[in-house]
Amino acid sequence: MKEISSAIQLIPLEQYVMLSVALFSIGMMGVLFRRNTIAILMCLELMFNSVNLLLTAFSAYHSDPSGQVFVFFIMIVAAAEVAVGLSILVMMKRNVDSVDINLLNRLKW
């Protein structure tokens, strides 16, 4: 426990910020890049997780457990979101027999 506690003293918080920003950008790039709806949902998970990592890092560096409770709630919301998103995907596959996100472009208007 003591040794792990000294681990976060060696790594500056800025590096965790950089890591989360990189992961978030990769997730956003994936959402713009892919056409497969299931891959887009996975990239959304990636973005959720980068925010979780950032909240945990701030919580650990400020010795405040509230941030970790927030991460817990974000995990709850992510689980609910994935359940609904995947059921929408199943319905879309059943109705139009494709997982192409471009077929949903009428949702824009």
Partner 1 sequence: MIFLFYMLSAIMIICALAVVFSKNPINNVIYLIVCFIAMAGHYILLNAQFLAVVHIIVYTGAIMVLFLFVIMLLNLNKAIILRKSKVTRITAVITGGIFFLVLVAATRQTFEIHPRYPFASDIGLLTQIGKVLFSEFLLPFEMSSILFISAMVGAIMFGKKDEH
For the segment 59-88, give every residue that binds partner 1 (CB under 8 A).
59-66, 68-69, 71-73, 75-84, 86-88
The verdict on 10 binding partner 1 (CB under 8 A) reads yes
The verdict on 17 binding partner 1 (CB under 8 A) reads yes
How far is C-alpha 73 from the chain's CA centre? 13
**What is the C-alpha separation between 60 and 35, in angstroms, rounded?**
37
CB closer to partner 1, 79 vs 109: 79
The verdict on 104 binding partner 1 (CB under 8 A) reads no
Positive/negative CA dihedral, 82, 88, 22, 25: negative
